[in-house]
């Protein structure tokens, strides 16, 4: 059940079988200043993802917040290691940097095929020892998610989902089942498709341009998405992302509009048949235009 939002707090939901209570918008380390991370927590963001980019300012902010409010925040630490014996040192190094004793979620990053036993055993040992409360896995191969969903030792999954890549609606979300407490939590990412869904050069001429909050609203509108990650770089971008909560879920017409925009953006950024360049970059080169893409 979603907590009612107030001016200072955004909704929280249960993150599946992890049992963690998390904000529907999560904040990733993407160059945002320390003061703005603290501002996000004051606004009610409690899901803090120190993942691919372990940036110092974000780490300093998490360290400062954890001293006062450790029980209020969900801290995610990601590791890409493929060597089981290195998983513990990787996590412990991050914990020392953040000044905390445990991670709420240990994220095993980018496993398009199920991790080998050496990785899963090492992760399980960290959970048993109290270094991590739950295990999460990220993946780009949607067919592999069935394995993660069926594994009771994996508390949450991290899934790419946006208007240009809505495939999780057919390939992942239906596999979750009806038992919301017993299935893994779902965190979605790349809501703006790295900004492509906001780029006027990639949008269809006859469609209005989405706001960033529209991209977050699209992801959050799906009932199986618990958290959507935000990679804001400053307070203005953060406020725009959080306004997705205030604006509420999208209705059918808005969802259809976003999918039309997403399909056009995907087509414009797909790999061309004549080489390895995205179509819109190929257009620029072949037409001798390097500052703007042609409108179609």
Contact between residue 46 and residue 23 where contact means Cβ atoms under 8 Å apart: yes
The whole-angstrom separation of Cα 151 and Cα 146 is 9
b or e along 102-125 (b: 16 or more beta carbons within 10 Å of the residue's beta carbon)?
bbbbbbbeebeeebeeebbebbee
**Cα gap 171→250, rounded to integer Å:** 21
Whether 261 contacts 250, CB under 8 Å: no
- pLDDT of amino acid 60: 94
Residue 294 clears pLDDT 50, i.e. is over it: no
| pLDDT one-digit tens code per residue, 98-153 | 999 999 999 999 999 999 999 999 999 999 999 999 999 999 999 999 999 999 99
CA distances from 140 to 118, 152, 160, 171, 203 (A): 21, 20, 7, 12, 25
Using CA atoms, how far apart are residues 34 and 249, in angstroms rounded to an integer? 30
pLDDT at position 211 over 80: yes
Q: What is the pLDDT of residue 55?
A: 66
Per-residue pLDDT at 90 exceeds 90: yes
Which residue segments constitute the domains of the chain, with CATH numbers given? 12-271 (3.20.20.100)
Lowest-pLDDT range of 29-33, 205-209, 249-253, 292-296: 292-296
Q: Which of 70, 92, 90, 74 is nearest to 82 (CA)?
A: 90
Query: Average pLDDT, whole number, for the chain?
Result: 89
CB 13 within 8 A of CB 25: no
pTM: 0.88
Q: What is the mean pLDDT of residues 194-200?
A: 96
Q: How confident is the model at residue 196 (pLDDT cuts 50, 70, 90)?
A: very high
| Residue 52 neighbours by CB under 8 Å, 6+ apart | 29, 78, 109
Residues near 167 by Cβ (< 8 Å), separated by ≥ 6? 142
For residues 212-237, average pLDDT = 97
**DSSP-H helix ranges across the chain:** 34-43, 56-69, 84-98, 117-128, 145-150, 168-171, 212-220, 235-247, 252-268, 279-286
* 26-69 tens-digit pLDDT: 999 988 999 999 999 999 999 999 976 676 789 999 999 999 99
Residue 200, pLDDT > 90, answer: yes
| Res 159: pLDDT | 98
| Interatomic CA distance for residues 70 and 76, integer angstroms | 13
């Amino acid at each position: 059940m979603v907590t009612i939002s107030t001016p200072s707090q955004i909704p929280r939901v249960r993150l599946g079988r992890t049992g963690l209570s998390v904000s529907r918008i999560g904040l990733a380390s993407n160059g945002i200043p320390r003061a703005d991370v603290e501002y996000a927590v004051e606004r009610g963001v409690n899901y803090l993802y120190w993942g691919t980019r372990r940036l110092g300012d974000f780490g300093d902010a998490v360290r400062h917040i954890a001293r006062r409010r450790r029980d209020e925040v969900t801290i995610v630490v990601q590791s890409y290691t493929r060597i089981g014996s290195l998983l513990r040192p990787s996590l412990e190094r991050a914990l020392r940097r953040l000044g905390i004793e445990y991670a709420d979620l240990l994220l095993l990053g980018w496993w398009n095929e199920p991790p080998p036993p050496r990785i899963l055993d090492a992760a399980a040992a960290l959970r048993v020892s109290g270094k991590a409360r739950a295990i999460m896995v990220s993946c780009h191969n949607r067919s592999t998610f069935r394995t993660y969903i069926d594994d009771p030792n994996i508390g949450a999954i991290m899934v790419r989902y946006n208007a240009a890549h809505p495939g999780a609606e057919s390939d992942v979300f239906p596999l979750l089942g009806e038992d919301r407490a017993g299935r893994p939590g779902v965190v979605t990412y790349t809501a703006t498709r790295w900004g492509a869904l906001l780029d006027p050069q990639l949008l269809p001429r006859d469609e209005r341009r989405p706001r960033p909050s529209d991209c977050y609203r699209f992801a959050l509108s799906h009932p199986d998405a618990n958290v959507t990650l935000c990679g804001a770089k400053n307070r203005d971008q953060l406020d725009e992302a959080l306004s997705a909560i205030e604006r509420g879920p999208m209705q059918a017409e808005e969802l259809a509009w976003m999918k039309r925009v997403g399909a056009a953006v995907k087509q414009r950024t797909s790999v061309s048949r004549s080489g390895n360049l995205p179509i819109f970059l190929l257009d620029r080169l072949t037409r001798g235009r390097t500052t703007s893409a042609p409108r179609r």
